[in-house]
Chain A
């Protein structure tokens, strides 16, 4: 019998599954589709904005105590968050996908080359040239750090429809950075009509295309830092980055995320799936959890939808990692009811549609409906209205949780990693110490 069934295959589900499997648990993951990792920039945004604040957070570790008491980060505390992030960084970096903070690749986050303190965010560049507060990023994106004052050239690939170098450079100039745009012709690299970021990344896995691009980029850039769309290889990302660094005068080349599909997100997703396969953990995609059976406070099984009769999955414990409204774990119905889709858990959310959203789309307080979700205790077990765990063998992590608005806070991946780690560890403790028999 499985020790743990993880529902959801986003960053939360995959990292939780890995953490639990490494703790010795027999784990399986089921998911409706590929996770939302494919829509994300591949960076680990820990905490970019405090509620209602316009100014980005400079140091997430120092800002955590300022969050509301019910926030998942407050349930954890900065030390537990740091432990999870260091574990994540060690894991993916060890698997050939180096992630760095502004302090560099130093895993413990001690003061590094640029004098940043532990927890220091960097400002990276968004697909439209806006600043993005990020803690941990793939090495190639971390190089975009706007604290580096050297001039930049944003190089586009002409013919690629999902990247806008002139817009990015202009936005950067308005923020006081020295930036210009340039472009290199894509028709020297490919005759394919499909020039999506992923297709270009696959193309740039080929050594011949890498050499060609390095030549063209070297010609287009003076002694400037070079920003390119995040299409620099899917499988041989490190190799093409090294090649481009060598070829350019500044030796500084960075990636800027594109519109989805996000190549850095797919690199992360692929790395985690391969790590799970290495531990013998199966990830079943195309399996939507639709129902469950509980006897008292114990879940007996979860059912997923199939082409015929529902399929039952039994495990000692269950981890809900289905995401928020975007990921499909929380559903807002036309009636105004907001519900959790698998276990029908109590959800903190405004009950009327008129209260879901504020009139201003970009309101700095965010929208109430996106803060809705499943409330949990400090062990990440979902709670009922009275504050007691709903089920003894159910945990929840990631964007499905209440009292956080990951999009507004720029905490999406941080919430995933920190709560996935904590929940998986809590499951491991519970499985290894079965509850004492009740008389």
Chain B
């Protein structure tokens, strides 16, 4: 069991003045009574869990999706989502964990198993009978947008194209995450191509899952093992002064803040070093842009020169970095690109939340705000470009966006790689012999 301490998140609850702004913006409590809202679930309930009080959290805290919109809007700086995550871990410690949540927390393991025989895995998982069985036996929602294993993992592609890779004095480390490794290797390819276009050599050291799915399912012990292993594997590169770049906003958030804070590892020197070495890919690109170190050879995305309308949603996990919306800063330099910024709070899926049979409907209701936004932006622009898609920095959010809108969704790095002429945005593959 994880040790209990006086931590920064818990202490922040004393700043709560009960103004209810968090509840006003909570996308989950807006659509269901099963979650009473952030104020009740976190700062108000936390007082009863303090030392010397009966400690069991109320079961409703499990309906917090962990989207962190409450943290974002709180005018007094209460770490509401972290208080909820700790409460959920407390429940898991007291009551144990379902097989489903144990599996959903092990994204890395699922990815590895499927990648042994991706076609077979896709066939076995992606048919109605299997999905019904998964729903009935494990409680994995039948319609939720599960990803497909890709024929080739990202690191396989790296090995295969090793002779094409750029060698340079300027080096960066890429933390790709599980989804890029097994389901969307093309996001990793786009990242590598863009970084090489800037003149950087991309180092991809062995790495494991960042541990976020475990953290959100309350398995803090296992998450700590994952995090410590990543710290071990990345330390030499950090000491050499290389930045750790990630294209998955939730992985980078975990390395920067979630793991150190939730696991009480803030005093660990290696953990702190990783925290400060980690960058979201666009956060880092924006810093290059500020140093006038970003190539300006971006071309319009539409060959016929038509305006390309792109609804862009900055996911909750990116907004939780508190770095603004760096992808907007960069993509706005692409000629002919009409960016439409979403102000929707959350797509609903929140990592593994929307995959759970009892939460699927909630996740879709939460996402309606975003799906409606996309539909409004698309209205009247159907004929403007040959290919239409949305953009979003986080993988599960992209899958949910595709599920909710019927439109393909892309990582902003894919958009940028396409604008540099390095990548086929529609087919999702590198151009020019890669």
Contact = CB atoms under 8 A, between A and B. Distances in A.
Interface of A: 30, 32-36, 38-39, 192-194, 196, 198-199, 202, 260-261, 266, 273, 277, 282, 284-288, 304-309, 311, 327-328
Contact of B257 (A277, A287, A308): A308
Contacts of B77: 32-33, 288
A172 B93 CA distance: 55
Interface string B299-341: 0000000000000000000011111110010000000000001
Contact of A307 (B25, B75, B322): B322
Given A38-B24, A328-B75, A194 B319 contact: no
The 6 A-B residue pairs with the shortest CB-CB distance in the complex, in nearest-first order: A33-B75, A286-B72, A307-B257, A307-B256, A261-B24, A308-B256
27 contacts: A30-B324, A33-B77, A38-B24, A39-B19, A196-B20, A196-B24, A199-B30, A260-B19, A260-B21, A261-B21, A261-B23, A261-B24, A286-B72, A305-B322, A306-B256, A306-B323, A307-B256, A307-B275, A307-B320, A307-B323, A308-B256, A308-B275, A308-B276, A308-B279, A308-B321, A309-B276, A328-B76
Contact of B25 (A34, A304, A305): A34
Contacts of A307: 253, 256-257, 275, 320-323
Interface of B: 19-21, 23-25, 29-30, 33, 36-37, 71-77, 253, 256-257, 275-276, 278-279, 319-325, 328, 341, 343
A198 B24 contact: yes
A423 B11 CA distance: 37
Contacts of B33: 192-194
Contact of A38 (B21, B30, B322): B21
Nearest to B70: A33
B75 A34 contact: yes
A261 B20 contact: yes
Chain B interface, DSSP helix/strand/loop, else mixed: mixed
B341 A277 contact: yes
Contacts of A32: 75, 77
Nearest to A30: B324
Contacts of B76: 33, 328
A306 B24 contact: no
Contact of B73 (A198, A202, A285): A285
Contact of B19 (A38, A196, A286, A309): A38
Contacts of B328: 282
Nearest to B15: A328
B389 to A, nearest CB: 22
Contacts of B19: 38-39, 260-261
Contacts of A282: 324-325, 328, 341
Interface centre among A33, A38, A306, A309 (most CB of B within 10 A): A33
A33 B154 CA distance: 39
Contacts of B29: 194
A304 B278 CA distance: 17
Nearest to B261: A307
